[in-house]
Amino acid sequence: MLGTEKCCGADFRTCGLLLCGGAGRLGYPYIQEHQPNICQISVLRDGNELYSAEWNCYQQTDCVHIASATKSVMALLIGIAVDHQMIGSVNDRVLSYFPGYSVKRGEKTIFDVTVRHLLTMRAPYKGHGDPWTKVCASENWAEASLDFLGGKGSITDEFDYRTVCLHILSGILFKATGMKTVDFANEYLFRPLGIAGHESFSAGTAQAHKLFIADKAPRKPVWLADPQGLATPGYGLCLSAADMAKFGQLCLQNGTWNGRQIVSPEWLREMLSPRRIESGAFSGMFYGYLWWIVHPEKSIYAAIGDSGNVIYVAPHERIVVAVSSCFRPAVRDRIDFMEHLLLPMIQKAGIIASAESIDLAEPKKSRSKSI
């Protein structure tokens, strides 16, 4: 079933029946024309590899900056800290982890913001959009982000998608565990799953920061960090598609890996409980704890990052699909690509017996908004 394809001297494993290219087929020529920034694809069923391929001169073990899909990995880390009673509860008030923080005069709302508000993107912030310049130019990104948390109004529970301000979660994890984000991840999540140990990467300058995000070359296993060495929980993690798929498989296995409980089933149920977004750009979509619930009625969920980096999990099919992608702004069709092209073609190849939980009708409006 598995053949090889060459690009720039690299071997690409492809499904010899339908995924190796040709007119109307999904392979190197199709990807180059229609999904040109895809670097790697990994498809698992019951934890076994169904399909794996690489493009754009990437090797299977090369890492890619997975952008906002980083958030979903952070949700697992927070859950592990809760399971180990390092973080008391998602109902803990954020400021309880920053006792030395000086609250601005007249500020009241910030006192009531909880960890849950951060995880569900329901935390109130001052201003619109992420304050990238002010936070990233500071020496302490967590405290700089706290300066934008709260406001003079009440907590409305309105969905407000943020990225850089989620750095507060790295601050909480450090305060609760005494470990920097990447060290905690290596010990409690990455190494237990057989993922190479990661190192923190400091961009140093604004130009280096931009280059880190936009660079299309293969990466080492690093996680972007602030000057304090705390990794960015909203973006910045570099992984291969094969490693991305392991997080989806961990969730499918109720948090166990090789007989070891990595994260509790209770946390996973809470993390993946769909909460409907009632207004704004994401109105009508569903969100859990830093995971998108793509099809609540079918329990399908995903980690989604800019450029089309996705970990897609279909529990009823016992399938995980991971796609890593180099930088390309506003890729919005990656979920549709998975559901209406990739998985159906694998199904036709006879590898997947059925796809009853996946709607294989004509493509719908994309759920992969630019995030």
Measured N-to-C along each axis, helices 70-83 and 167-177 cross at an angle, to the nearest 10 degrees, of: 30
How far is 195 from 67, CA to CA, in rounded Å? 18
Put residue 292 in one of left, alpha, beta given phi > 0 → left and psi -120 to 50 → alpha. beta
pLDDT value of position 186 = 98
Measured in Å, how far apart are the chain's first and last C-alpha atoms? 36
Beta bridge partners of 273: none
pLDDT value of position 294 = 97
pLDDT value of position 332 = 86
pLDDT value of position 20 = 42
192: Cα within 13 Å, side-chain hemisphere: 19
DSSP 76-123: HHHHHHHHTTSS--TTSBGGGG-TT--PPTT--GGGG-BHHHHHTT--
Mean pLDDT by 10 residues, the chain (371 residues): 33 37 52 89 94 92 98 98 98 97 90 98 92 94 95 88 96 98 98 98 92 95 97 98 98 98 98 96 96 97 97 96 94 91 79 38 41 68
pLDDT tens per residue, range 348-369:
766 553 333 333 223 334 444 5
